[in-house]
Homo-oligomer: A and B are copies of this chain.
Amino acid sequence: MGDQDQSPYQNQNQNQDYVGLESYVVIHNIAKRHNVGTLARSATAFGISEVILVGRRDFNAFGSHGSTCHIRFRHFYSLSDARLFLKEKDCDICGVEITDNATAVGSHPFRKSTAFLLGNEGSGLSAKECQVCDYFVYIPQYGCGTASLNVTVAASIILHHFAVWAGFPERTRDGNKFVVAERPVHKVGRNFCTESAESVTEERKLKRENDAKNGFFEEMDGSDSSNNLLNAVFGD
């Protein structure tokens, strides 16, 4: 246990350079919709700012254990629109893929706020998806029994490393569990999860700053029925 004191993990919480860093997950046409539910649970555990869905809007919240209510989802019809949004936020786009030039995630090749683009469960990142990435990370494997990891497992390991690197403040605990926030109060029904007042204000600010074509969420009091539909699947 001697190396504990020298670990880079211990210092990063105190490093002021890391303040304001954010992480995002970008999911492009994920094949197994139930993977999004478990992914949402890890995403909130590791402090990500938003889950960005590109292409198909629908998913299954199974496995989220209610986490989807605490996560902001954003939808774009195209990858280039998602890229534009992230670049306006000065984010790196990091592909999670075993490419020749990918860096092992444990070496923490991060530089600033980062959006992690996950490949489809079967085929990984396509050539088109790779083109929007600034760099790539991969998770080393050591055994003979599987070609790749489950997509949620892979995303969780990556997001965990980013949170450690970024020095996100650790969540308060109560006994042997982390404290879960109250569900947002403006709840329309069991399967509806609305934005908090704070997030609505932020959303409006973002709207002013960005092009309307990027497909932002409307607040729940808006009239966009497709966004209501998307919100409807957030509950578990």
Listed in ascending order, the chain A residues whose CB lies under 8 Å from chain B are 1, 3-4, 6-10, 38, 40-48, 63, 65-67, 69-71, 97-99, 103-104, 106-109, 111, 124, 139-150, 152-153, 156-157, 160, 163-164, 168-171, 173, 175-181
Contacts and interface: CB of A to CB of B under 8 A. Distances in A.
Contacts of A107: 3-4, 7, 9-10
Nearest to A65: B146
Nearest to A45: B141
Contact of A145 (B103, B170, B181): B181
Contacts of A41: 145-146, 149-150, 153
Closest 4 CB pairs of A and B: A70-B145, A44-B145, A47-B142, A144-B181
Contacts of A177: 98, 124, 147-148
B44 A144 contact: yes
Q: How many copies does the complex hold?
A: 2
Q: Say what secondary structure dominates the interface of chain A.
A: loop
A99 B45 CA distance: 17
Contacts of A176: 97-99, 124
B46 A153 contact: no
Contacts of A46: 141-143
Given A45-B142, A140-B170, A146-B180, 17 more contacts: A1-B111, A4-B103, A4-B108, A10-B107, A41-B149, A45-B146, A46-B141, A48-B143, A65-B146, A66-B146, A67-B145, A70-B143, A71-B145, A98-B175, A145-B181, A146-B178, A152-B153
B4 A109 contact: yes
A179 B147 CA distance: 6
